[in-house]
Amino acid sequence: MIGQRSIEQRRELGDFVRAQREKLTPAAAGLAGAGARRRTPGLRREEVAQLCGLSTTWYTWIEQGRDVSVSPVALARLADALRLGRAERAYLFELAGKRDPKGDGDGTDDVPAVVLACVEAIGFPAYVLDRTWTARGWNTQAQRLFVGWLDSSAGERNLLRFASSSWYPLPAPSSVAGRSAPAALPRSSAPLAARTSMTLLSAP
What's the CATH code, domain 7-96? 1.10.260.40
Q: Where in the chain is the domain with CATH 1.10.260.40?
A: 7-96
Residue 105 CA, chain-centre distance (Å), reads: 15
Question: What digits encode the pLDDT tens for the residues 165-185?
Answer: 665 555 443 333 344 343 334
Average pLDDT of the chain? 75
Question: What digits encode the pLDDT tens for the residues 75-94?
Answer: 999 999 999 887 788 888 88
DSSP class of residue 151 equals: S
**Contacts of the segment 1-8: beta carbons below 8 A, 24+ positions apart:** 1/67, 1/68, 1/69, 2/67, 2/68, 2/69, 2/70, 2/96, 2/97, 2/98, 3/96, 3/97, 3/98, 4/97, 5/95, 5/96, 5/97, 7/65
> Quick check: pTM over 0.85?
no
